[in-house]
Amino acid sequence: MFNLFPIDNGVCAPEGFYCNGVSAGLKANSQLDLAFIYADSLCDVEAIFTQNKFCAAPIMHYKEYQEGFKTNFILINSKNANALTGNEGINNIKEVLSTLQQMFPNVTNPIMSSTGTIGVQLPKEKIISAFPLFKLDTKNNQNAANAIMTTDRFNKTIAFEVFLDDGKSFRIGAICKGAGMINPSLATMLCFITTDAAIPKEDMRPLLLKASKTTFNAISVDGDTSTNDTILLLTNHKSGVYHKEAFLFALEKLMHKLATDIVRDGEGATKLVAFEIKGAKTQQEAEKCAKALSQSLLVKTALFGCDPNWGRIASTIGASGIECSPETLEIYFDDICVYSKGKILFDDINEEKATRILKQDSFKILCDIGLGKESFIAYGCDLGYDYVKINADYRT
Amino acid sequence: MFNLFPIDNGVCAPEGFYCNGVSAGLKANSQLDLAFIYADSLCDVEAIFTQNKFCAAPIMHYKEYQEGFKTNFILINSKNANALTGNEGINNIKEVLSTLQQMFPNVTNPIMSSTGTIGVQLPKEKIISAFPLFKLDTKNNQNAANAIMTTDRFNKTIAFEVFLDDGKSFRIGAICKGAGMINPSLATMLCFITTDAAIPKEDMRPLLLKASKTTFNAISVDGDTSTNDTILLLTNHKSGVYHKEAFLFALEKLMHKLATDIVRDGEGATKLVAFEIKGAKTQQEAEKCAKALSQSLLVKTALFGCDPNWGRIASTIGASGIECSPETLEIYFDDICVYSKGKILFDDINEEKATRILKQDSFKILCDIGLGKESFIAYGCDLGYDYVKINADYRT
């Protein structure tokens, strides 16, 4: 029905999109810290934001635009979250963006997005002083992806060309950042998605929400929810091509890759773990239980130590508040069953096999609650010394 | 109305109570690992247990006794939690306790309590082989308190003599263990309280629940809830003395000291932090918010790094789900205000003062939500490298 091909250039892979990253002196040593995404025609836009009640100034600024507004520009800075900064924080955005529009009269309804330390006013002069470096017809996706990184160890970018049966195609691309303060209720990150698909405005929000549920809303690094979480989807319709199922499929693929990349890059993390819950009574319980596992400090530290301490997994399920019984529960590390319906199968041979699985870069912990038919997969990581190091020293 | 005097001997300070700790070879190097508490007459008993759905075998065994049963014996082992061990786990307890009763015919309705690794069957032979070391008329509180320790760095014991105005007195004492897997919904620990107060059976449970709310239910080390949490209160009525307010006051003092000792001894912790929420709309919201702060990994690692990163505190409040606004919020480190109702007061001078406070062994983080009159204090600790070390290597 349709075919997906990975392509280069991330957020500027779709026709008519441009981007770059420059240094505004926010990060040390002239590192890239200020990015833009520009479209040469006006785009429909949809966004999902953090559920944190203290959402950052850029989010409040976005919400001042009229419902259904169109845009062609996103400005993104790292090192400063512009959160808990009051009216001054919003006024700083307005000053920054109106200066930008004086310099680039084509820019219409610009959106700003920020990540970094909370509770410090935006260094607007530094940001403005870097505008002369912007060339709007640049297509440098690597620079843009690097400029939005904070504690990320690698940049996160992806793009697909989607071919329909009639040979027509559209493109979709994205860049994304996130490594800490990552928790469901929109995982804490910034993600910018561009497409030239002719997706109708009314399809954008439902598809974005649907794809979020099993991707960015299914990951956790540390259980903390930031003030700045943002997913933005921009379309300029330029391909003239749209196929709803194909678009959703591509969107889910794209968001799943970026979301698991965030977990893989979790602060101090050494492995990506899929926590799959099966046999729960309700969908809500499956999700609650999978997320409890992905957030348990004792599970995460055992994973770091490559210790298949399944008792901590069982205990976390029992403490998660869902309906469950030791008589119906089964626990697997990949395909190794260590506990089955009241029976401990954790002999020396199985323990050695499970330990070997835990030494892999990625694996699955499967728990069958045995009481129903609902399932959910949450993605998490281990927690090691480097998480403490990164977050004890973050501001210094 | 009454006076409280600290006294020695913890759980065997009240008249008619005895205890000791011996080595049964569960821990390495002949460390103490098996404790008993014995009363020379039958006691009324009340208990509060974990809310973990997979509660351990000793808890299920306790619940097999008839409501209102009396006891004179508690047997406690460390190193093995006897949790997720099925019927075999309960049968092992019955075998251990009936062997004990054959050896000590005075023992009536004995209670067992366990702490250690989950999901391993009880080494009952080792435990039984240590019974000949028991002398029921021993009063060695230090040995008992040491034998129940797991990753605890210090033992936890306390006792008071409570004098009423008429010169009469009663005694209350306790031992307690806990350092990891500590989270509200009864903080994860074992606590044994003895008293010779003539407290009526019907007062025991309500007073125990009331005192728990602001003590063991207000602490968190890592947000994980164990399978074995237990508070047991035993009274032999021997003093003939009772005064409800005095008893509750003493019980709260005793439980508060032990609960904060657990946090102070939190795995890898270097400081005890009181998270006080004021001005919340409801009592539930005050509690929810205070506990969210005590459990945030980003707050805990910042505290470890002595970084007064108040933005993470604000962000955690915003993400906690309670009603709140940046326009009414105030944040203090002890008496230093760093954020007040939309204004950032975090200048160099205040930052230095706050950093100095964070270097103390214990301090308060006070957040005034500014929307109501309800308050709650949760107790937590920082999270450092040693938490990772202890829990990555726990079973080895």
A297, pLDDT greater than 60: yes
Nearest to B385 among A54, A344, A388 (CB): A388
Q: Which of B346, B307, B189, B156 is nearest to B299 (CA)?
A: B307
| CA–CA distances in Å: residue A81 to residues A19, A134, A230, B35, B370 | 21, 22, 12, 53, 24
Q: What one-letter code names the amino acid at A331?
A: I
User: Which chain B residue has the Cα nearest residue A225?
Assistant: B319
User: Is B223 in Cβ contact with A315 (below 8 Å)?
Assistant: no
Q: Which residues of B touch A90 (CB under 8 A)?
A: none
Q: Which pLDDT value is given to residue B256?
A: 92
Q: Which pLDDT value is given to residue A386?
A: 86
Nearest to A315 among B52, B121, B185 (CB): B52
B225 to chain A nearest CA, in Å? Answer: 6
B314, pLDDT greater than 70: yes
Residues of chain A with CATH 3.10.20.340: 272-393
What span, in angstroms and rounded, lies between the C-alpha atoms of B396 and B392? 9
CB A130 within 8 A of CB A76: no
Q: What is the mean pLDDT of residues B265-290?
A: 92
pLDDT tens figures, A234-291:
999 999 999 999 999 999 999 999 988 888 888 788 899 999 999 999 999 999 999 9
Q: What is the mean pLDDT of residues A55-67?
A: 93
Q: Which pLDDT value is given to residue A183?
A: 53
Confidence of residue B388 (pLDDT cuts 50, 70, 90): confident
A188, pLDDT greater than 60: no
Per DSSP, A82 falls in state: -
pLDDT tens figures, A5-25:
999 999 999 999 999 999 999
Give the lowest-confidence range in A174-188, A376-390, B324-338: A174-188
B276 to chain A nearest CA, in Å? Answer: 19
pLDDT tens figures, B117-170:
888 899 999 999 999 999 999 999 999 999 999 888 899 999 999 999 999 999
Q: Which pLDDT value is given to residue B187?
A: 41
Higher-pLDDT residue of B283 and B188 is B283
For domain A272-393, is the CATH number 3.10.20.340? yes
pLDDT tens figures, A336-376:
999 999 888 999 999 999 999 999 999 999 999 999 999 99
Nearest to A54 among B183, B318, B344 (CB): B318
What span, in angstroms and rounded, lies between the C-alpha atoms of B381 and B273? 5
Choose the mutation target among B82, B221, B301 for the interface with A, i.e. most A CBs under 10 Å.
Answer: B301
Q: Which pLDDT value is given to residue A181?
A: 60
Query: Mean pLDDT score of chain B, rounded to an integer?
Result: 91
Residues of B with a known catalytic role = 188
Q: Which pLDDT value is given to residue B181?
A: 60
Residue A155, both tokens: 């940049």
Could you report the predicted ipTM of this complex, rounded to two decimals?
Answer: 0.79
User: Is A396 in Cβ contact with B298 (below 8 Å)?
Assistant: no
B93, pLDDT greater than 80: yes
Task: Say what angle helices A201-213 and A244-264 make with each other, to 10 degrees.
Answer: 40
Q: What is the mean pLDDT of residues B205-224?
A: 85
Choose the mutation target among B347, B391, B394 for the interface with A, i.e. most A CBs under 10 Å.
Answer: B391
Domain B2-265: give its CATH architecture.
4-Layer Sandwich (3.60)
Q: Which of A352, A327, A322, A321 is nearest to A339 (CA)?
A: A327
Instruction: Write the burial class of residue A395 (CB in 10 Å: 0-12 exposed, 13-18 middle, 19+ buried).
Output: middle
A186, pLDDT greater than 50: no
Higher-pLDDT residue of A213 and B196 is B196
Per DSSP, B245 falls in state: H
A187, pLDDT greater than 80: no
B44, pLDDT greater than 70: yes
Residues of chain A with CATH 3.60.70.12: 2-265
B34, pLDDT greater than 80: yes
Q: Which pLDDT value is given to residue B280?
A: 97
User: Which chain B residue has the Cα nearest residue A180?
Assistant: B298
User: Is A344 in Cβ contact with B307 (below 8 Å)?
Assistant: no
Q: What is the largest CA-CA distance in chain A?
A: 71
Q: Which pLDDT value is given to residue A130?
A: 98
Q: Which pLDDT value is given to residue B186?
A: 37
Report the share of chain B in percent with pLDDT over 90. Answer: 72
How many CB pairs below 8 A link A and B?
A: 219
User: Is B315 in Cβ contact with A227 (below 8 Å)?
Assistant: yes
pLDDT tens figures, A102-147:
999 999 999 999 998 888 899 999 999 999 999 999 999 999 999 9
Nearest to A339 among B119, B180, B315 (CB): B119
Give the lowest-confidence range in A118-132, A325-339, B216-230, B268-282: B216-230
What span, in angstroms and rounded, lies between the C-alpha atoms of B223 and A107? 47
Confidence of residue B188 (pLDDT cuts 50, 70, 90): low
Higher-pLDDT residue of A364 and A223 is A364
What span, in angstroms and rounded, lies between the C-alpha atoms of A112 and A97? 8
User: Which chain A residue has the Cα nearest residue B393?
Assistant: A305
Give the lowest-confidence range in A362-376, B328-342, B375-389: B375-389
